[in-house]
Structure 1
């Protein structure tokens, strides 16, 4: 199992997918990203976080050159912690629903993403602009994502985080008026989030235990149903205890190797792997070996559809009252993909083509009237599956750019769009 909070796994992922021609390969700067974009000009870039030789960067000067700047960041950090404590108390007193138990550890975690990393990002980017020797920079602002996951997309804290992010963008645009070079700005979000009470809250049982009840009693199950965000942020900051994290990964790997079934979650998407077989089981084999599994899952009222592969019919999206034959376009009964977006078939076909697609991929229900899903992990706002605003990414780019009027679908298309226009700018 490889996950993006794995401190030893992300470098392996980057090595697998990089062709040496990332967005930042030509005199670029990476600020608070998962991957490096093939540059060595790094600050808080997770794929290189263990390379201590790259921790020093002259862009840090823009953060600490003014003695009051660090004190300001600390004050904002403490204020955000106080805001989170107040939020947890008021949510409890007002019985805001849905809500999750955010706990003590989340309080500094939120402040780290929403304040510390935000301020470092903006300060170092402005420093890059003032020096003028960086051609392209890419930076990730995590604060809104973190808060919306835990407080929900409708909570006032999420809107406050958005307004704070908007101010950071204004700072960058204002700084452009004084930089020796003229920089263009691209603002993008790779996903939205959809609100809703979790599967455990609605059903009264974790999805892991629900799946276990449909299998043979002697089968061992490994499940990873909790949010990775807290672990991700903890390792992202310079104060992380990385040796403990590595040991945890090693222990987890041993548990995985001993398990007959692996159940994973990403928002309202769940993945079920039956590890006694090295290949992906077909729909027919699943029904033969585990006759209660698929009927049990699709008849759960909080499941929208599952994706499986049939030896006879190819890819199938199956809901409680109907089946969508993705290869032929035929629908038996009700369309299980109705309301999940115009491109859902295309996305499911792409997912099914992956080498390590799970035996059963499960997407929760989507209530179009309430605009809600139910996450299989304990998050109020979620993304990872289909349904609602999580499926609505956006990109704002300069009007002078050459961009087709066709729909932009998938991360590969965004990468191509950015690379083509960077080449145009260079020429």
Structure 2
């Protein structure tokens, strides 16, 4: 007997042993339920065994056939419909086995849930990989059907861990929080490197750049467009669709049969699910893409999956509540409030959507799709609320790594060969939220300096933090003394005889002061003066709002401000000025400490069509490695400074080394080069196809 035959025999023996164990345990559970439920009865000794066998046939053979028709019910009810349908099937079985009593549908559903829990427990305790069984059966069917072309290029899985920075990855590999990827790196199958994000270090700019090769004019996760009086939001379906329309040329990374799972943009994929720019209700026929249900089918075909997911979600909710209470009692700083619906929202991203994404990817591999992109959002969500390397966040990292290991094992059994590339869209920088630290939000600060109504600027935890006035005292002391740039700006503004124009009328977007809009995106705040068309220059800002720029550059939470002047774009800091076009610096370089690429990235952003009149970046301290985000987060991103600017890339070692990667568009070119290297054809694109 060959080693391969011995392996098949051993695996077959494990499958038989598992089925027998589940059968016995289900029979035991049915016997226990007989004593617990008044409306459920199996009076004879042999009935639990026979009933368990018939239910096994129902769930393994009949149920998958039913689900092919009833899948929408299961999907739109997040699996609850599955239990109702299975309960109806179990109720029908009670009429087949003589003497068995299942009085109503409610009782039948309770029995189904209990039996499914047994299956989930057995799979977890014995570490049995359901995907292995699924893929082995599918691969055999695929081979019998004559599928599987060895000459076709290997498929590629692009697995994104949202927000996980390069430095955090290195420490997680060292400390055992990423065992799957650590194993790859140790054995030499993969290599890890970093890549530098754009100034807008957030998912919208990074993913659009990665998947479509362009992130031009994406200024933040949300930004204001003066010509339309509209705030664009990457997480809004209509805006995401518009962003993709502006950047897609039909040649995205996923064009030609690829799949996009749980992200913002499609990358021109033919198959999408949980993708913001392709929400079916808003864009059902925009591109004629299929919303393939194979991944959902894989997930819901086995009720054990749902029980396992719901159980894990409940555990995650309890874990979040416990961690939040512990953090508050210990007086941990920085922190934010984590109550309300957040524990449930967290479980939705860390468990439920994660499991759906994994099942979708398994369906994609089974279908042999050439390139699959998926975004695991859980770490970024938790890092926003708890911190970038605190226990809660690292626990999510470990869970995602476990799922990546699961996909890696499944890829070995897929009909098509697959390469796994793991990456992040940006990193995260930790800090005490601007509003909490200084007693007012940046919107309230700008509004007050521009003549808006005062008040209402208190941070979410402003009343809880010790000595909130101390922040105001520091702010007032620094503003009163002022840095050299602030003093110079005050002198310039004081010599001007120009005055503020009359108040502007209200628009669709709320104003922090008459004619002033402020939009924040993590560590960046964008200020637009709506009474003026186009870009408002430094001289106009000084004349109409003489205290605004001096107060901003002197504020301890502001790192630098970008504004246009008669001499081109200027970066203002507390102790110096940088003219971007000439590179001339007067005083201290305001971009010192923000990285060698900062000037080039800011210069590029200054050229965007919808670049706001002022762009404010939070102050980063290299000593404490923190910055105060303008959103109420602990870990945040969206600008320059610290770990937010460095994503990671783990790729197969036999692919060409990428060299230094600066910007998401450069990352796109690297991945496109890898696809070409592996033999994937270049997509034609819409313009070429129309010729």
TM over 0.5: yes
TM-score by length of 2: 0.55
Say yes or no: does 1:149 pair with 2:384: yes
- Name the structure 2 match of 1:325: 579
- Cα distance between partner residues in 1 of 2:306 and 2:442: 44
Per the alignment, residue 380 of structure 1 pairs with 634
Aligned counterpart, 2:557: 302
Task: State the alpha-carbon separation in 1 of the partners of residues 667 and 313 from structure 2.
Answer: 33
After TM superposition, give the deviation of residue 360 of structure 1 in Å: 0.6
Q: Which runs of 5+ in 2 are unaligned?
A: 1-230, 285-289, 461-505, 681-691
Shift of 1:217: 4.4
For the 8 Å contact 1:41–1:57, the answer to whether it is kept is no
Determine which of 59, 62, 75 is the counterpart of 2:295: 59
Q: Tell me, in whole angstroms, the C-alpha distance in 2 between the residues paired with 1:254 and 1:353.
A: 26
Instruction: Confirm or deny: 8 A CA contact 2:237 2:278 kept in the other structure.
Output: no
Match of 2:611 in 1: 357
Question: Could you tell me which residue of structure 1 aligns to residue 329 of structure 2?
Answer: 93
The counterpart of 1:134, out of the listed 369, 372, 383, is 369
State how far apart, in whole Å, the 2-side matches of 1:25 and 1:404 are. Answer: 22
Runs of 4+ in 1 over 3 A off after TM superposition: 50-56, 255-259
Equivalent position to 1:288, from 535, 538, 543: 543
| Residues 1:196 and 2:431 are matched in the alignment | yes
CA distance in 2: counterparts of 1:193 and 1:214, whole angstroms:
30
SS in structure 2 opposite 1:32? strand
TM-score (norm 1): 0.88
Give the RMSD, CA atoms, in angstroms.
2.2
Give the distance between the partners of 1:2 and 1:391, measured in 2 at CA: 22
**1:11-50 pair list within 5 angstroms:** 11-50=241-280
Q: Distance in 2 between matches of 1:267 and 1:12?
A: 22
Q: Whose helix fraction is larger, Structure 1's or Structure 2's? A: 2
In structure 2, what is the Cα distance between the partners aligned to 1:288 and 1:400?
Answer: 59
Q: Would you say how many aligned residue pairs link Structure 1 and Structure 2?
A: 396
Q: Which residue of 1 aligns with 2:670?
A: 417
Q: Is the alpha carbon distance of 1:155 and 1:300 closer, same or farther for their aligned partners in structure 2, counting shifts above 3 Å?
A: same
Is the contact made by 2:569 and 2:579 (CA closer than 8 Å) also made in structure 1?
Answer: yes
Q: Which runs of 5+ in 1 are unaligned?
A: 227-251
| Alpha-carbon separation, structure 2, partners of 1:6 and 1:42 | 17
Q: Cα distance 1:326–1:255, how it changes in 2: closer, same or farther (>3 A)?
A: closer
Residues 144-198 of structure 1 deviation map (CA, whole Å, 9 limit, x = unaligned): 0000011111321011011111111111111122112110111111211011101
SS at match of 2:518: strand
**TM-superposed deviation, 1:125:** 1.0
Which residue does the alignment assign to 2:234?
A: 4
- Aligned equivalents of 1:201, 1:110: Cα separation in 2: 22
* 1:315 matched residue in structure 2: 569
Q: How does 1:45-124 map to 2 (within 5 A)?
A: 45-51=275-281, 57-124=293-360
Give me the whole-angstrom Cα distance separating, in 1, the residues matched to 2:570 and 2:450: 21
Distance (Å, rounded) in 2 between the aligned partners of 1:26 and 1:7: 23
- 2:534 matched residue in structure 1: 279
- Counterpart position of 1:248: none
Deviation, structure 1 residue 259:
5.8
Go from structure 1 to structure 2 and tell me whether the alpha carbon gap of 1:306 and 1:136 turns closer, same or farther (over 3 Å shift). Answer: same
Partner of 2:185: none
Query: Which has the higher mean CA deviation after the structures are superposed, 33-42 or 255-264?
Result: 255-264
Q: Secondary structure at the match of 1:44?
A: strand
Are the aligned partners of 2:294 and 2:364 in contact in 1 as well (CA < 8 Å)? Answer: no
* Distance in 2, Cα, partners of 1:253 & 1:58: 45
Deviates more, 1:259-268 or 1:362-371: 259-268
Choose between structure 1 and 2 for higher RCO, CA contacts under 8 A separated by at least 6 residues.
2
Asked if residue 175 in structure 1 is aligned to residue 385 in structure 2, the reply is: no
Query: Residue 5 and residue 308 in structure 1: after superposition, are their counterparts in 2 closer, same or farther (change >3 A)?
Result: same
Partner in structure 2 of residue 125 of structure 1: 361
User: Does the Cα contact within 8 Å between 1:42 and 1:57 map onto a contact in 2?
Assistant: no
- The separation in 2 between residues aligned to 1:76 and 1:404, in whole angstroms, is 38
C-alpha displacement of 1:56:
5.3
Question: What is the aligned counterpart of 2:515 among 242, 260, 285?
Answer: 260
> How far did residue 265 of structure 1 move?
0.9
